Amino acid sequence: MVADVLRLRLTLLVNGFRRSAWQTVGFLVAAVYVLVLVGLAVAGTAALGVGEPATARDAVVVGGALLVVGWWLLPLLFFGQDQTLDPQHFVLFGIPARRLATALVVAAFVGVGGTALVLLSAGSSLAWVRSPALVPVALVGGALGALVCVVGSRALTAGLAPVLEGRRVRELTSVAALVVAVVAWFAFVRLTSGDVGLSPQGLRDGAASVAHVAAWTPLGAPWALAGDVADRAWAALLVRLTITGATLALCGWWWSRALAAAMVTPARSVEGSRQEGLGWFGRLPASPTGAVAARTATYWLRDPRYAGSLAIVPLMPVVLVVVSGGDLHAPVLLLAAPLVAVLFGYSVSNDLAYDHTAFALHVAVGVSGRADRWGRCLPALVLSLPVVLVFAVASVALTGRWDLLPAVLGLALGSLGVALGVSGVVSALYLYPVPKPGESPFKQPQGSVTASLVGQSIAMLAVFVLGLPTLVLAVLTLALGNDVLGWATLAVGLAVGGVALVLGMRRGGAIYDRRAPELLQQVLSYR
């Protein structure tokens, strides 16, 4: 059974490469990027192992605990792991839940993320390079830690997905997670501040305090086994083995129950609300552009897959406050409006994939590229303009730099126009798989992670290059404090953003007219 599922996972992975050359390129780029980061982490662990053993032990426990937290929580916040082997795909085969769970655990290690986890877990043993006898113990601890990552992640995702499919619940979850992250950041700063500051000794003391607590939790217990053997703390070793075993047993039991329920429960459809009359179709002009705009506006308000684009907007200032170390007057807060503008502009860069089979209607009735591009752009533009203006004024008010308001407005509005224009072109050239309508927004089709990484990188690079003149003027205004430069930034931003928006809609419409059948075939190929 395990061999069959593993072979199926490898076959699906290889077939994804055959489907698109860009998908292969994206996978290779993501693999190289992740492996470089893993190599740096492993090299750092080896360097610590050559030094003081206590520091290396604390670093491994803290790093391992963070790795477990990431594997457990990130799938719940950012649409989850790759759902190529969705348990509901095995409904007709009558496979016992426990056997299927075991097979899916092994299959989880196939891919970029799984390979990185294995390398990091094995690399943690290099912290004991000065004590070769402890390396096998550290390898066992790393293997148990990797199992805790995978089994816990699958259990949480499978068990909570029915609850978190709701749009409101998912937005509240994202907000709560960010609040926890903010509290953790300030707690860390508080722990390592004061007389010692962010000095090496302060960091070591802070890591030691965190490691001492984490080692008695399921997050850090498996990573602390080698340290217990080194200290001959056999009672602590037994307790941590018990904690790790109990965690794996509990998560495995929960996952088995969730799998058993998922294999007999129909997939939930997208939650909706009562709608009387024609909604936006009755409010917007009866034209091709108006019809597309009405449907897009309905998506923005009712489709949970679009919730992520809206939920992250009010959290952007919080992220910048965290980056500034809690300083509400830091100049970095002035980036809130431009960043929100880019997020809104990029939000329509993959609308065709979100349409799925509904896009066939556009092709069948011959909707022009101009109507399609503007119809998808206008709702995002109308929705984002007041939000961007509020963020611009609020950021200037917090920092007390009212003299920079024209520059901030110019950079924000210019970024919005450029991002929308780039999205109009990119969405007609490059698509990537997304969850289909009615599916859980936590599911990720095969190849979506690497493909979206390539698409986002290309789009963001284009936005940066086109918005560079406005950005340079804004930086000069901040550095020199020249009011004339601020008004020049506003004028240039409006001009660049407006031209990029119009040309992007025109160029994207022409590409759409030429590639509409090909785009439809590509969208329908996503499974």
> In this predicted structure, which of 31-45, 398-412, 426-440 has the lowest mean pLDDT?
426-440
334 lies in the same domain as 422: yes
> In this predicted structure, which of 133-147, 167-181, 459-473 has the lowest mean pLDDT?
167-181
| 22-44 burial code (b ≥16 CB/10 A, e <16) | bbbebbeebeeeeeeebeebbeb
User: For residue 10, is pLDDT > 90?
Assistant: no
> pLDDT band at 332, cuts 50/70/90?
confident
108 lies in the same domain as 246: yes
Q: Residue 481 falls within a domain, yes or no? A: yes
Q: If you average pLDDT over residues 188-202, what whole number do you get?
A: 49
Of 228, 262, 296, at which residue does a domain stop? 262
Nearest in space to 211 (alpha carbons), one of 201, 224, 230, 199: 224
Q: What is the pTM of this model?
A: 0.57
Of 262, 293, 328, at which residue does a domain stop? 262
Calpha distance 461→418 (Å, rounded) = 11
384 lies in the same domain as 239: no
Calpha distance 343→332 (Å, rounded) = 17
> pLDDT band at 195, cuts 50/70/90?
very low
Predicted confidence (pLDDT) per residue in 87-111, tens digit = 666 766 667 767 777 777 787 787 7
User: For residue 272, is pLDDT > 50?
Assistant: no
Q: Residue 414 falls within a domain, yes or no? A: yes
Residue range(s) defining the domain that contains residue 415 = 282-524
62 lies in the same domain as 6: yes
Q: Residue 267 falls within a domain, yes or no? A: no
Residue 14, judged by CB atoms within 10 A of its CB (0-12, 13-18, 19+), counts as exposed
Calpha distance 369→361 (Å, rounded) = 13
Q: Give the residue ranges of DSSP H helices in 356-447.
A: 359-365, 369-399, 405-429
Mean pLDDT, all residues of the chain? 78
Q: Residues 6 or more apart from 161 whose CB is under 8 A from it?
A: 80, 440, 442
Q: Which amino acid is at 7?
A: R
107 lies in the same domain as 155: yes
232 lies in the same domain as 309: no
53 lies in the same domain as 168: yes
User: For residue 447, is pLDDT > 60?
Assistant: no
Of 230, 262, 294, at which residue does a domain stop? 262
Beta bridge pairs of residue 444? 82
Q: Residue 403 falls within a domain, yes or no? A: yes
Nearest in space to 498 (alpha carbons), one of 460, 464, 458, 466: 466
> pLDDT band at 80, cuts 50/70/90?
very low
Q: Residue 435 falls within a domain, yes or no? A: yes
247 lies in the same domain as 291: no
213 lies in the same domain as 299: no
Domain count, the chain: 2
| pLDDT at res. 87 | 64
349 lies in the same domain as 205: no
Residue 350's φ and ψ, nearest 5 degrees, are -135, 30
125 lies in the same domain as 229: yes
